[in-house]
Chain A
């Protein structure tokens, strides 16, 4: 079945530090890949996505590249801010291959804390 593995948290960084959160996946076919973010006290929000190999998703200074050869979708940001403190979830959708529509399979989440 489908699965997503992402690095354990919590991750604590100083402001302006470089961020990488690793994510690898196992899936049937060619899934779509996503990063969702959950800010404190808020619901899940889509941060970025990529739908095919070598696509790069980007938003708010975050980037992730769909790497089919390594089945990875690592999240990066060159300079984090305190306001980036949140829980980040990597996820995939097999786009209905298993009859579940846009059903998402999530990683366990990585908590990021950015300090001044």
Chain B
């Protein structure tokens, strides 16, 4: 596609529910990254994919967070049993090789009520 696409753009969920956030990277980009942007924490790295594998999951804040990538393309970030502190904007980025510029999507704004 023309750019990194994320869906939904906004998500309001009740505390304790599971949510799935989707990222569709730029076609042909092998590297994919998830970040979280929240008040008080700034922009935090969550997980990095190279192809379908995740060499770096060090930023996932708890075992309620997981992510997968299939077909070397679309990625899904899943948050189980959501908590209010999970409220944030979740950003996805992709790049064509491991060490080149990353292009960001518009983000998904998650609100846990």
Contacts and interface: CB of A to CB of B under 8 A. Distances in A.
- Classify chain A's interface size: 20 to 34
Main secondary structure of the interface of B (DSSP, over half): strand
B56 A99 contact: yes
A46 B101 contact: yes
Interface residues of B, number: 26
Interface string A99-116: 111111111110000000
Contacts, number: 64
A43 B94 CA distance: 13
Contacts of B95: 101-102
A95 interface: yes
A109 B48 contact: no
13 contacts: A44-B104, A46-B101, A49-B101, A95-B99, A99-B55, A100-B45, A101-B48, A101-B99, A102-B98, A104-B33, A104-B35, A106-B44, A108-B42
Given A104-B43, A104-B102, A108-B42, 14 more contacts: A43-B4, A43-B105, A43-B107, A46-B103, A95-B99, A96-B98, A98-B56, A100-B48, A101-B98, A101-B99, A102-B31, A102-B102, A103-B33, A104-B45
